[in-house]
Amino acid sequence: MPPRKKRVVASADAEETLDDPQTATAGSSRASKGKQVKFQDPEESDDGDTDEEPATKKRKTTATTLKKGKGKARKPKKLELFQAVPLDVLVLIMEELDTKTLLAMSRTCSTFRSRLHSDQGAAAWKCARANTGEIPDLQAKDLEEWMLASLLFDSTCHICHKNRAQTVDYVLRARGCASCMRKNSVRRENMKDEARFHRTVWECVPESKWSPGYGGEVYLFYWRPTVYAVSERLFALDGKPGFDAYLEERRKVKAGATADGVTLAQWESRYTMKRQDDKADATASRKQKIKEKLKELGYSEQEFRLIEWNKLVDQPRDLTDRIWNTLKPQLVHLLETERELRRQNELAQAMRKRAEKLQPFYNGLHASIASDSARSLFPPFNNFLLFNNVKPLYEPEDADPTLADLNQARQGILSEADAFAHAIQRAFLGRLVKANMDLRKLDGAVATTSSNRYVDAPLVSANDAFALAKEITSVVKCPKDWCSTYATFPAILDHVKVCCTTSALTEDALSTTPAQIAAVRHIVESAAKKVSETSTASLYALGRAFVCTECNPKDPLLGAASWSGNYIYTWDWAGMLKHLLKQHAPPANGPQSFPPVHFTPPAAPSPGQANPGGFVVDSDSPQSSKGEGAAV
């Protein structure tokens, strides 16, 4: 500790200066720090003839101090008003609350918390239990009322205090997140430090039973924090007078906790079902009130069904006047939108019916074309309805064309049909030529032969393009995803007129790719056929004769049992084409190659198949000369 500093006086003159008040007042500011006091002679102060009054000290005022004291006093907060309620009134309020609300009330302030966590708050918790689905009384007396409420209605993990802890074990009286439950709800043999526990601890802690549902095995789980706490208490009382009493008490707690776990689980099931029923009743009541109010606004029950399952209507909340005033403009907007959509649909259906009346006129125009190729290029019916000369015949609501009106529009319709044929043919041939040129670039230049001259030679002639479109490698799939029909152009248009009856055909709907061209050639060559001499009809006639070598069942002994019912590995040529493009698609910027395809020619029909009657004629038998048959 440093030595205490002593007061040092510099000189006698300095002492006189300190004793003389006038000299001290006239001194420097450094020597006269602090508040200065004016000294006065006592004789002068006793003189009664003086007329001067002593100066009064004034307090400094600022703008802030001037404002103080004006206006109203601070309003007490709501919680302060609630705390000021008399105790007997507060108890009456608590007795009317449910457990979940009382639990939230206990966490508003320290006053309510200490009161509800004490013995005085036990009566309030019991009343709350009776108001909340009749929560049963517990046999184990070690769990306080507020702890039971927290176990049932809280969502916080007892270990890490994370929110939304959904896992709860009523026997162990613990709630936790998934991670904490795995770490703390453990089996006895999985506790590495079992030797440090008291020898009788397993008789004193609750155990939760769990069975996987097979084999009849039952596993016992213990709550690690409880095991540590009880074991420590047993060690502290071991050999002392209170050991036997504590041991007996813990055994009763264990038996009571086991029974309470079953009781609380049953109560939770009943409580959950009741809450679901209450929500369903509240939702039905809300819907009924909204339906009645919408009827008053002029909407029908059928229109209400359109918004019945909207989130604004389908809620388990009572419909108050304030909520209805908020929902009313939104529901009216939804209903008016539905009305407009329904009106538009009705107009579209009526127009579609008027358009369908033109089907005989369309069929007549289609049949009047003499050339087969031109007839194939005639537009489908849905494209026919988009012609400018056809729209006036069905779009107006009062449209009812006569025979004269149809004959007058005939020439214009045929002109538009020719324009459609030229446009779709030009678009398809352009994409076809580009796909073949891209394939040649990807695979590299090859020698020109009669079978692949359209692969490696430049396609600049219209005649070459038309000839290329007729080859089997130029097949086009039906635009419908569910249809697997392939045909060359323009024969595919005849199929589209029958298959695609709900939408119009676009110019980019019919196209091919380099991978598809290479895959078709690969399939045709696997069947030992020439590309220039093969047609789609001959390929379809082969049936299911194509097998992908990379997708065969690995074990032939298990193939019939495990593969045939779940995996189809034999296809017709269209199925094999789809399989190659989907399962073995080559890279977009590399050679267009595919795995080998095995072709199995269809077997020749047996004599019994050729003669369904079951009789064959033996050429060497005597019946052959008589024309009789022998039974097989």
- For the cut 50, the answer to whether the pLDDT of residue 515 exceeds it is yes
Residue 554: exposure state from Cβ atoms within 10 A (0-12, 13-18, ≥19): exposed
Paired with 209 in beta bridges are 220
Question: For the residues 77-99, what does the mean pLDDT come to?
Answer: 79
Cα separation of the two ends of the chain: 130
- Domain assignment present for residue 326? The answer is yes
If residue 235 lies in a helix (H) or strand (E), which one and from where to where?
helix 224-237
CB of 204 closer than 8 Å to CB of 217: no
d(CA 125, CA 117): 10
Q: What is the pLDDT of residue 110?
A: 85
Sheet of 219-223, strands arranged across: 185-187, 219-223, 208-210
Query: What tokens does 401 get?
Result: 């064309």
Q: How far out from the chain centre does Cα 325 lie?
A: 32
pLDDT, greater one: 347 or 503: 347
Q: Is 258 inside any structural domain?
A: yes
Cβ of 433: how many Cβ atoms within 10 Å? Answer: 18
Nearest in space to 402 (alpha carbons), one of 368, 357, 364: 357
Q: Which helix or strand (DSSP H or E) is residue 630 part of? A: strand 630-631
Q: Does 130 map to a domain?
A: no
Report the pLDDT value the prediction gives residue 51, as an integer from 0 to 100: 46
Q: State the chain's mean pLDDT as an integer.
A: 81
Q: Which residues of 487-510 are buried (b: 16+ CB within 10 A; e: fewer)?
A: bbbbbbbbbbbebbeeeebeeebb
pLDDT for residue 377? 93
In terms of residues, how long is the chain? 632
Task: Label residue 288 by pLDDT band (50, 70, 90).
Answer: very high
Rounded to 5°, angle at Cα 418 from 414 and 420: 115
**What pLDDT is attached to residue 185?**
93
Lowest mean pLDDT among 151-160, 301-310, 456-465: 456-465
Name the residue among 192, 194, 161, 152 with its Cα closest to residue 179: 161
Angle at 413 between CA 408 and CA 414, to 5 degrees: 110
User: Distances in Å between the alpha carbon of 515 and those of 379, 439, 451, 533, 624?
Assistant: 29, 8, 18, 21, 56
* Torsion over CA: 551, 549, 475, 443 (sign): positive
Is residue 297 domain-resident?
yes
- Residue 89 reports pLDDT greater than 60: yes
181 in Cβ contact with 222 (< 8 Å) = no
Residue that has been written with the tokens 């006093």 in this structure: 73
User: Across the strands, what pairs with 630?
Assistant: 616
Structure confidence at residue 19 as a pLDDT band (50, 70, 90): very low
Q: Select the more confidently predicted residue: 21 or 488.
A: 488
Q: pLDDT tens digits for 540-555?
A: 998 889 998 888 655 4
Question: Is residue 43 one of the residues assigned to a domain?
Answer: no
Instruction: Say if CB 573 and CB 544 are below 8 A apart.
Output: no
pLDDT at 93: 86
Please give the pLDDT value at position 90: 83
In DSSP notation, 490-504 reads: THHHHHHHHH--SSP
Q: What are phi and psi of 379, to 5 degrees?
A: -65, 150
pLDDT band at 232 (very low <50, low <70, confident <90, very high): very high
Q: 247: number of CA atoms within 13 Å, CB side?
A: 17
Nearest CA to 547 out of 523, 517, 521 is that of 523
For tokens 């033109």, the residue is 358
In 124-271, the DSSP E strands lie at 167-169, 174-176, 185-187, 208-210, 219-223
Contacts of 423 (CB under 8 A, 6+ apart): 507
Number of domain units in the chain? 1
How far is Cα 192 from Cα 206, in angstroms, rounded to an integer?
A: 19
Judging by DSSP bridges, how do beta strands 167-169 and 174-176 pair with one another?
antiparallel
- Does position 459 have pLDDT exceeding 60, yes or no? no
- What would the mean pLDDT of 199-221 be, rounded to a whole number? 87
Tell which residue, 555, 561, 559, has the closest CA to residue 570.
Answer: 559
Q: What proportion of the chain, given as a percentage, has pLDDT over 90?
A: 48
Residue 10 lies in a domain: no
**Does 261 reside within a domain?**
yes
Q: pLDDT tier at 79 (50, 70, 90 boundaries)?
A: low
The Cα angle at residue 471 between residues 470 and 473, in degrees rounded to 5: 130
Average pLDDT for 269-278: 92
Give how far Cα 442 sits from Cα of 328, 345, 450, 590, Å: 64, 50, 20, 6
159-194 pLDDT, tens digit per residue, is: 999 988 989 999 999 999 999 999 999 998 888 877
pLDDT tens digit string along 114-128? Answer: 888 988 888 899 999
3-state secondary structure of 92: helix
pLDDT at 222 over 50: yes
- Using DSSP, state whether 167 is helix, strand or coil: strand
pLDDT digits (tens, 9 = 90+) for 558-574: 444 444 444 557 889 99
Lowest mean pLDDT among 63-77, 84-98, 388-402, 618-632: 618-632
Q: Given this model, what pLDDT does residue 64 score? A: 52
Q: Taking a C-beta distance cutoff of 8 angstroms, is the pair 468, 454 a contact?
A: yes
Residue 32, pLDDT above cutoff 70 = no
Question: By three-state DSSP, how is residue 20 classified?
Answer: coil
pLDDT above 70 (res 503) = yes
Q: Are 226 and 177 in contact (CB under 8 A)?
A: no
Give the predicted TM-score (pTM) of the model.
Answer: 0.57
Alpha carbons 255 and 141: distance in angstroms, whole number: 11
Helix, strand and coil content of the chain, in percent to the nearest 5, comes to: 55, 5, 40
Between these two residues, 529 and 5, which has the higher pLDDT value?
Answer: 529
More confident residue, 465 or 346: 346
How many CA atoms lie less than 13 Å away from 314 in the CB half-sphere?
8
Structural domain includes residue 117: no
With a pLDDT cut of 70, the percent of the chain lying above it is: 77
Minimum mean pLDDT range among 99-103, 213-217, 318-322, 378-382:
213-217
Alpha helices (runs of H) in 561-606, residue ranges in sequence order: 573-583
Q: Which residues pair with 597 in a beta bridge?
A: 548
Number of other residues whose CB lies within 10 A of the CB of residue 536: 18
Residue 221 — very low, low, confident or very high, per pLDDT cuts 50/70/90?
Answer: very high
Model pLDDT for residues 34-68, shown as the tens digit of each residue? 444 444 444 444 444 444 445 555 555 555 555 55
Q: Considering only residues 509 and 588, tell me which one the structure prediction assigns the higher pLDDT.
A: 509
Distance, in Å, from the CA atom of 488 to the CA atom of 475, rounded to the nearest integer, reads 4
Rounded Cα distance between 598 and 45, Å, is 134
Q: Residue 162 carries which side chain, given as an amino acid letter?
A: K
Q: Which domain holds residue 244?
A: 185-351
Cα–Cα distance, 376 to 78 (Å, whole number): 84
